[in-house]
């Protein structure tokens, strides 16, 4: 018996060393090929993540061959800011690229990660979406970037890094409804989250979306089959992930699990399995974020991670200890302003809303192209929704806290529950420390960023020694808590020398509404502030306090400001005040008349909505 046992141990030992590269062999291995398969706008609605309604056999199989990440998160719940993170390894609010398609410059030293791979000898291809949200594309980062780009064009023996972007599951895939009889997933039995009502349109959009995720799964299979056919699978590390969550209302663009939690599966070939975080067909609850993807890619390729990258490698020789939190953000979404920051650990999600006076469901033209959105809004207006379904159409709390294990749909806010005070305090502090340590310039309104970074990048602006970031952030924290007892502090902000502090002081008055009545005289002074954003916000605060004529006059004036994002700010407010905004019609029409209808500028989209709202007629153009 002892002899048999020893023989078994010997066999296992020999097998292990035969299958595992020795330390010497590891050093002699060629750099791995790396393939990224990126789907658009989908949450982990996959069989391997426990969704029994999904039809995803390819990805389910890939999960049995690789490591499935249970806690992978996008930094933003929308594409361009998310992809800004991925391509740079830097947090977009540190660079001024947090807003949707803002195209602000980043420091010239911030090279897109393919440059480092190319310098190390990799052939780098992108097929084909970019959308990096920066002023300069850095086109030479890629050897190929087009819808025909392929790793097959590399030199013989050259390692490759290749991205294939799959758009079939994109939000636009539900804009045009497929006839019910052509759907493969049944609208009558499709699972719907508790915040959505079961309107016919909502059921249909969900079923159609599951069809599109199935189509995406098929496309993943085609890419993997081609890799096998080329004889490259045994030398290639494969990543599959989505660029953010999605896609129906309250997912994409919103700081919930539905917008930020992404699927991530990584498959390692046998010779590179020592680089993996686990064995094949395993799962990990390690938190990873898009901020970590570029550093991890360089680490796997054996390339030194640049100091400016704020993420940390979670694989490879430069792997760092597991992070405790994932941090995410929301800025302007197309023509609509909102602002929030979110923190996630393995159990809880905390979100700080810095514009709690705005409803979640602000009208956004592109979002409303899905039939489910107007059906949901109409159900609310008709009083057909329960409390959970109605919340989307109402103003926000300043803070949200969710137990993501017990409440994966994030509908039970624990922020005011005394039993969770310690958790709330911890997550609130983690948010504040991250904002300050990573120099979050998003606490300046967008028009202000444009004005103050004419001779520098936003990143360089916020890193100036005399930039009062902590003062501005502290003002935002106080002003946005909806606390009338802080009014005296808020009023002091209105005469502060820093534009950003004054802006948050005025915003605090907007949030407090009638409770800020004693600040009216100060607001009448800031109505003529040199800072456009302060003046525009003052108009909103005064409108709420009964000074409607003066407020509307300032907003009409602001529609003609030179700064395009100041115009968008003013138009956002005019949209809210409805019929009282009629004096702004001539200015809005002038903007539209002076532009090409193919122009997608956000002030034009906002002007278009205002004109349509007041005149009741649809205008073509000025949108995606």
Say which residue the tokens 């979100």 belong to: 351
d(Cα 297, Cα 306) in Å, to the nearest integer?
A: 12
DSSP tag of 359 = B
End-to-end CA distance of the chain: 74
3-state secondary structure (DSSP) of residue 330:
strand
Identify the helix (H) or strand (E) that includes residue 166. Answer: strand 160-166
Judge whether 19 counts as a catalytic residue.
no
d(Cα 331, Cα 362) in Å, to the nearest integer?
A: 13
Within a 10 A sphere around the Cβ of 8, how many other Cβ atoms? 10
Burial (CB count <10 Å: 0-12, 13-18, 19+), residue 191: exposed
Closest to 469 in 3D by CA, of 495, 503, 435:
435
DSSP state string for 491-534: HHHTT-SSHHHHHHHHHHHHHHGGGGGGGHHHHHHHTT-SSHHH
Contact yes or no for 346/352 (Cβ under 8 A): no
Rounded to a whole number of angstroms, the CA Rg of the chain reads: 26
DSSP state string for 45-94: -SGGGT-TT---HHHHHHHHHSEEEEEEE-SSSSHHHHHHHHHHSS-HHH
Within a 10 A sphere around the Cβ of 146, how many other Cβ atoms? 11
DSSP state string for 275-316: GSSS-TTEEEEEEEEGGGHHHHHHHHTT-PPPTT--S--SSS
Closest to 42 in 3D by CA, of 30, 34, 54, 25:
54
DSSP tag of 433 = H
Within a 10 A sphere around the Cβ of 344, how many other Cβ atoms? 26
Contact yes or no for 97/75 (Cβ under 8 A): no
Please name every residue paired with 344 in a beta bridge, in sequence order, or none if there are none: 326, 349
Contact yes or no for 310/89 (Cβ under 8 A): yes
d(Cα 472, Cα 531) in Å, to the nearest integer?
A: 15
Of the candidates 79, 124, 404, 509, the residue annotated as catalytic is: 79
3-state secondary structure (DSSP) of residue 113:
helix
d(Cα 283, Cα 286) in Å, to the nearest integer?
A: 9
Backbone phi, then psi, for 330, in 5-degree steps? -135, 130
As given in the structure block, the two tokens for residue 499 are: 């534009």
Supply angle C-alpha 60, 76, 277, rounded to 5: 45
Task: Report the relative pairing of strands 144-145 and 123-127 from DSSP bridges.
Answer: parallel
Residues acting as catalytic residues: 79
């Amino acid at each position: 018996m002892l002899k048999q046992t020893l023989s078994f141990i010997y066999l296992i030992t020999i097998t292990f060393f035969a299958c595992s590269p020795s330390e010497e062999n590891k050093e002699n291995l060629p750099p791995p090929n790396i393939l990224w398969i990126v789907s658009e706008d989908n949450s982990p609605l996959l069989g391997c993540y426990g969704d029994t309604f999904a039809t995803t056999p390819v990805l389910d199989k890939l999960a049995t061959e690789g490591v499935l990440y249970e806690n992978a998160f996008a930094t933003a719940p929308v594409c361009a800011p998310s992809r800004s993170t991925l391509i740079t390894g830097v947090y977009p609010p540190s660079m001024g690229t947090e807003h949707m398609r803002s195209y602000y410059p980043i420091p010239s030293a911030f090279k897109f990660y393919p440059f480092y791979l190319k310098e190390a000898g990799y052939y780098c291809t992108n097929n084909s979406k970019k959308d990096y949200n920066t002023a300069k594309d850095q086109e030479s980062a890629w050897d190929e970037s087009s819808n025909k780009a392929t790793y097959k064009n590399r030199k013989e023996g050259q390692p490759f890094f290749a991205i294939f972007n799959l758009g079939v599951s994109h939000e636009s895939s539900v804009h045009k409804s497929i006839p019910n009889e052509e759907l493969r997933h049944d609208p009558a039995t499709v699972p719907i989250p508790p915040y959505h009502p079961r309107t016919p349109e909502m059921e249909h959009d969900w079923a159609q979306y599951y069809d599109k995720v199935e189509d995406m799964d098929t496309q993943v299979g085609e890419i993997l089959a081609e890799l096998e056919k080329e004889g490259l699978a045994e030398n290639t590390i494969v990543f599959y992930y989505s660029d953010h969550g999605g896609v129906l209302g309250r997912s994409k663009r919103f700081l919930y699990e539905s917008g930020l939690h992404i699927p991530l599966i990584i498959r390692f070939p046998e010779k590179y399995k020592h680089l993996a975080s686990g064995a094949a067909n395993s799962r990990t609850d390690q938190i990873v974020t898009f901020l970590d993807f570029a550093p991890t890619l360089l680490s796997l390729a054996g390339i030194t991670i640049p100091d400016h990258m704020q993420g940390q490698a979670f694989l490879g020789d430069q792997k760092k200890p597991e992070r405790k939190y994932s941090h995410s953000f929301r800025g302007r979404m197309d023509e609509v302003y909102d602002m929030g920051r979110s923190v996630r650990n393995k159990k809880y999600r905390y979100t700080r809303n810095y514009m709690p006076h705005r409803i979640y469901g602000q009208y956004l033209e592109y979002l409303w192209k899905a039939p489910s959105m107007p059906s949901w809004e109409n159900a609310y207006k008709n009083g057909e929704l329960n409390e959970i379904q109605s919340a989307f159409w109402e103003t926000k709390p300043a803070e949200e806290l969710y137990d993501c294990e017990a409440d994966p749909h994030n509908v039970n806010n624990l922020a005011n529950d005394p039993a969770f005070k310690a958790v709330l305090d911890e997550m609130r502090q983690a948010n504040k420390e991250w904002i300050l340590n990573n120099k979050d310039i998003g606490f300046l309104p967008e028009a202000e960023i444009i004005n103050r970074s004419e001779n520098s990048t936003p990143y360089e602006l916020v890193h100036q020694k005399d930039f009062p970031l902590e003062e501005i952030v502290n003002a935002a924290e106080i002003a946005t808590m909806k606390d009338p007892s802080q009014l005296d502090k808020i009023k002091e902000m209105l005469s502060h020398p820093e534009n950003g502090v004054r802006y948050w002081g005025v915003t605090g008055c907007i949030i407090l509404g009638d409770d800020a009545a004693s600040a009216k005289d100060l607001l009448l002074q800031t109505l003529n502030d040199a800072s456009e954003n302060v003046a525009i916000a003052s108009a909103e605060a005064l409108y709420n306090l009964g000074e409607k004529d003066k407020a509307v006059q300032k907003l009409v004036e602001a529609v003609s400001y030179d700064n395009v994002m100041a115009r968008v700010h003013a138009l956002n407010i005019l949209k809210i005040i409805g019929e009282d905004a009629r004096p702004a019609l001539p200015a809005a029409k002038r903007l539209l008349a002076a532009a090409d209808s193919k122009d997608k500028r956000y002030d034009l989209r906002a002007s278009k909505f205002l004109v349509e709202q007041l005149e009741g007629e649809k205008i073509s153009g000025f949108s995606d």
